[in-house]
Every structure is written in C-alpha cells, then in structure tokens.
Amino acid sequence: MKLPELQSTSMMTLEDALARRRSIRSYKKEPLTLSELGRLLWAAQGRTGTRDFRAAPSAGATYPLELYVAAGNVEGLEPGLYHYVAPTHELSLVKSGDLRAELCAVALDQPPVREAAVDLVLTAVYERTTDRYGERGRMYVHMDVGHAAENVLLQATALGLGAVPVGAFRTRTTGTLLGLPETEVPLYLIPVGRL
C-alpha cells in the first residue's frame, strides 16, 4: 500500500517540538490518519534525497533497522501488522488482525501498548552493521535505533500526537509474535495515539 505523499504542513519549530515532547501514555480512541502514520514512519526511516539516505542517521549508511506497524486504529488501513518499505514509502501487510493486545502482553502489560492507535516496532539486523564494523557495530546499531526513535517522538509532537518509548518487553516472544527471523531483533516499541 502506497502511503500518501509527504506534505510539510507543520508550523511547529524544532525548538518547540523539543520543548513540548513528553512521554504520553494515555490516548483518545480516535484514529490516526494515513497521512499522520506516513509522516511518523518517514521520520524514523524514510528516504531523503535521490540516494537511499534516510531521515535518521546510520553508521556507515548500513541501515540495520527495520520498522513495523501494529495498526489498530488508522483511517483507511485494516488492522494488522505492516512492514514499512522505506525506499518506496509503502506498507506491506505481514499479518492481518489487531495485534495490540498481544503486543501489550509481551510488553509486560503496559496499557499504552494496547490503547495506542498504532504501535511502531523498531527491529535490527545487526549483521548489516557488524559485518563492516565488527563487534563495535552492535553499539552503532543501538545508536541508530535511538536516532530513529527520537525522530518519531519529535514528529508525533509536531503532529499534536502522543507517544512513549517502550523498552520493557520480552524480546524473543515479541520476535515470535511478529514472525521475525532469528537474525532480526526487536529493540523498541513506540505506542502512538491521539491526545
């Protein structure tokens, strides 16, 4: 599914977004728009320019991160697990059905994971970076996921949405729930919903 073209309509400055960003754990039951979702995904891993550079920095442009959406309440998008295809700004359906409650269970029953309109899941394929940088590449991957997560949080703030970074979850169980290969590791959950 092709996501809507990006439109720069935010009047919020970066300084305002930085000052207003907070961990928001309660959301209205109102849906996100497909455009809002697209802007969040682009902020995390979207393509910038004509080469395959991304909105978030990556050590040596190795791009070890993958991005998934556990969508439950987005206008024009059936509930399901989707993979973000960064180079083409598209979503690819991985699994049908609303996974937010199951994801909440593997996230130690944290209510924001269940109540958010979407849960973004950032995963990593470490070998993309460690093949170039050796064991030090693991640290670079962790830096990369931090960059991407912060971009999402600032974009959510600029869009007037609430988001919270979640690191407490059962890694292997989450990977199994998402159907990830063993070489791909979940690192971050980011519930996002309307304030």
Structure pTM?
A: 0.95
In a domain, 31, yes or no: yes
Beta-bridge mates of residue 54 = 47
Rounded to whole angstroms, the Cα distance separating 58 from 72 reads 29
Question: Beta 185-194 vs 90-96: how paired, if at all?
Answer: unpaired
In a domain, 109, yes or no: yes
CATH number at residue 97: 3.40.109.10
* Domain limits for position 162: 14-194
Local confidence pLDDT in tens for the 195 residues of the chain: 888 888 776 778 889 998 999 999 999 999 999 999 999 999 999 999 877 899 999 999 999 999 999 999 999 999 999 999 999 999 999 999 999 999 999 999 999 999 999 999 999 999 999 999 999 999 999 999 999 999 999 999 999 999 999 999 999 999 999 999 999 999 999 999 999
Please count the structural domains in the chain: 1
Q: What's the CA angle centered on 72, arms 16 and 28, to 5 degrees?
A: 50
Beta carbons within 10 angstroms of residue 89's beta carbon: 18
| Distance between first and last Cα of the chain | 27
